[in-house]
Amino acid sequence: MSRLIYIPFDQLNVERGAMRVADKGTDVIVLIESQRMLTTRPWHKQRLHFLISSARHFAEQLRADGWNVDYRKAATTVEGLEAVRTSTGIRNIVCAQPNSFRLSEQLTAIGATFVDNDFFLTPREVFQAWASTQSSFTMENFYRAQRRRLNILMDGDKPVGGTWNYDAENRLPPPKQHDWGPELYFEFDDIDEQVRNELPDSTWGELNTKVWGTTRAEARAQMEHFFTHHFADFGPYEDAMPNQSWRAHHSLLSPYLNNGLLLASEVIDAALERFSHSDIPIASCEGFIRQVIGWREYVYGMYWYLGENYRENNHLNAHRRLLPLFTDSSKTHMNCVRSVVADVHERGWTHHIPRLMVLSNLALLTGTSPQEFLDWMREVFVDAAEWVMVPNVIGMGTHADAGVLMTKPYASGGAYISKMGQFCKGCAYDPKQRTGENACPFTTLYWDFLARHESEFSSNHRMFQQMAGLRRLSDIDSVRVRAHEVLDGLEQGRI
């Protein structure tokens, strides 16, 4: 009996998901370009272009391989699926378990049946089993369990190299002189151009260069490029924010991992292959493996484990509207923020430290609504998806979940950004000052944030040092006055 095999835009892989069970002789492969998805928010051009063009290329490849494909535009996904049902006369819709609560509910409501989602290394029930035995959800514990379960970088039951974690060798600041390696850009083809011309006016950001490949071949090329040119130095400079390179030595693979053009398993296999046949330092290999089998799987597992309402958490009662500098980098003189927002505007991407210690840190310290900030992050990052943004922003970035994910907030003043980045030299402010006109807004706001939440954080033993530091400040009253000026200035776009 014929079936409609529905492929969402984040499951573009012929070997996984519903394609596994599809029959070329009888089934119709369905992809829907939801117009609501396109127009409801000021999405970044790079993001929309990447998602739509990848899906159209995927559909074209399937057709070339002899599949019967129905790719159509519709007001919403559900309306599109109903229209395909009507035009083909086929009622039966099969899909892999979707990656969000919302799509799961919509497809369940129209009677779709689901096959297992095998785009991740950790089946949901395996994660649930792990989480249900934990008193706190420490990523490091999950990561070690993953290493054992998947038998990756293991020597019997011991970690290869004798230690689980090489952070002590990693996390170096950017050196003054360093070869940050070459970049790989792609050429727009006819499908890319067509999508580019169709983007709605409501978009944000630039799309002058094709930073993000839109085919599996281009995704594989980016993977090869990373392993050849950047993998060896990935570990030491994982947290560095150099001003000579927007990527540092990061892989740029998240968009492809998230839309199915690459699989985590093939990325891990390629990493282990390079590690065993070349002189890749273990600190770089382990650091990268940790991101993919640890962080990525942990965040996906926690998204499902914590449930649909987790995204509404606002434990610190933060209600400030999104600051204008997030959508217009010229609205601030803070060099770090201006540079990072400009990077995001250009490519829809920046690595984990600018996301965490610049953008999220600013949202956290200014008491910005976690939900408004989450919406903005979802709109502007090329790799954003509900399952990955929600835990990263609500849990890690803004501490809005009262520490369910991370036991302490990732809050810092200008000292961290000054140490790990190269922004402060060209900045109007001084990271060491907390009061006065030249004070770094991060430094001022950091102490003000601790003071505002003193009763909350005093009972958190992991915040002991910071709170002791706060109690030693003799000028906290002046800091708080300056913090008010800074917050006003940020709202008016003059700080």
Ligand X SMILES: Cc1cc2nc3c(=O)[nH]c(=O)nc-3n(C[C@H](O)[C@H](O)[C@H](O)COP(=O)(O)OP(=O)(O)OC[C@H]3O[C@@H](n4cnc5c(N)ncnc54)[C@H](O)[C@@H]3O)c2cc1C
Binding site for ligand X (CB under 6 A): 250-254, 257-258, 291-292, 295-296, 299, 351-352, 355-356, 360, 377, 381, 383-384, 388-389, 392-393, 396-397
Q: What is the C-alpha separation between 12 and 255, in angstroms, rounded? A: 12
Task: Tell me if 441 contacts ligand SF4 by CB under 6 A.
Answer: yes
Q: Closest CB to ligand SF4 among 85 and 419?
A: 419
Q: Retrieve residue 49's tokens.
A: 């272009």
Task: Tell me if 411 contacts ligand SF4 by CB under 6 A.
Answer: no
Binding mask 358-397 for ligand SF4 (x = CB under 6 A): ----------------------------------------
Q: Retrieve residue 142's tokens.
A: 């999950």
CB of 415 to ligand SF4, least distance (A): 8
Report helix, strand or coil for 416.
Answer: helix
Task: Tell me if 442 contacts ligand SF4 by CB under 6 A.
Answer: yes
CB of 488 to ligand X, least distance (A): 26
Q: In the set 7, 103, 414, 450, which binds ligand SF4 (CB under 6 A)?
A: 414
How many other CB atoms are there within 10 angstroms of residue 145's CB atom?
Answer: 16
Q: Closest CB to ligand X among 82 and 372?
A: 372
N residues, the chain: 495
Q: In the set 12, 323, 341, 427, which binds ligand SF4 (CB under 6 A)?
A: 427
Q: Of these partners, ligand SF4, ligand X, none, which one is at the site of residue 251 (CB under 5 to 8 Å by kind)?
A: ligand X
Q: In the set 97, 284, 366, 418, which binds ligand SF4 (CB under 6 A)?
A: 418
Task: Tell me if 326 contacts ligand SF4 by CB under 6 A.
Answer: no
Q: Closest CB to ligand SF4 among 215 and 418?
A: 418
Q: Closest CB to ligand SF4 among 207 and 336?
A: 336
CB 4 within 8 A of CB 71: no
Q: In the set 51, 232, 353, 424, which binds ligand SF4 (CB under 6 A)?
A: 424
Looking at 117-125, 259-267, 330-338, 460-468, which segment touches ligand SF4 (CB under 6 A)?
330-338
Core vs surface per residue 319-354: b (16+ CB within 10 A) or e: eeebbebbbebebbbbbbbbbbbebbbbbbbbbebb
Distances in Å between the Cα of 492 and the Cα atoms of 205, 331, 359 are 22, 8, 18
Q: Of these partners, ligand SF4, ligand X, none, which one is at the site of residue 429 (CB under 5 to 8 Å by kind)?
A: ligand SF4
Position of tokens 């990848």?
54
Q: Retrieve residue 39's tokens.
A: 């127009």
Element at 6 (helix H, strand E): strand 4-6
Q: Of these partners, ligand X, ligand SF4, none, which one is at the site of residue 218 (CB under 5 to 8 Å by kind)?
A: none
Task: Tell me if 431 contacts ligand SF4 by CB under 6 A.
Answer: yes
Alpha-helical regions (H) of 232-278: 254-259, 264-277
CB of 58 to ligand SF4, least distance (A): 41
CB of 324 to ligand X, least distance (A): 20
Q: Retrieve residue 42's tokens.
A: 């000021």
Task: Tell me if 350 contacts ligand SF4 by CB under 6 A.
Answer: no
Distances in Å between the Cα of 278 and the Cα atoms of 227, 228, 270, 283 are 11, 10, 12, 14
Q: Of these partners, ligand X, ligand SF4, none, which one is at the site of residue 352 (CB under 5 to 8 Å by kind)?
A: ligand X
Q: Closest CB to ligand X among 170 and 435?
A: 170
- Tell me, rounded to whole angstroms, the distance of Cα 145 from its chain centroid: 23
Q: Of these partners, ligand X, ligand SF4, none, which one is at the site of residue 495 (CB under 5 to 8 Å by kind)?
A: none
Alpha-helical regions (H) of 40-160: 45-64, 77-88, 101-109, 124-131, 139-150
Q: Closest CB to ligand X among 3 and 250?
A: 250
Q: Closest CB to ligand X among 7 and 263?
A: 263
CB 349 within 8 A of CB 251: no
CB of 369 to ligand X, least distance (A): 15
Task: Tell me if 305 contacts ligand SF4 by CB under 6 A.
Answer: no
> Which 8-state DSSP code applies to residue 385?
-
Q: What is the 3-state secondary structure (H, E, C) of 315-345?
A: CCCCCECCCHHHCCHHHCCCHHHHHHHHHHH
Q: DSSP string covering 53-88, please?
A: HHHHHHHHHHHHTT-EEEEEEESSHHHHHHHHHHHH
Q: Tell me which residues touch ligand SF4 (CB under 6 A).
A: 334-336, 414, 417-418, 423-424, 427, 429, 431, 440-442
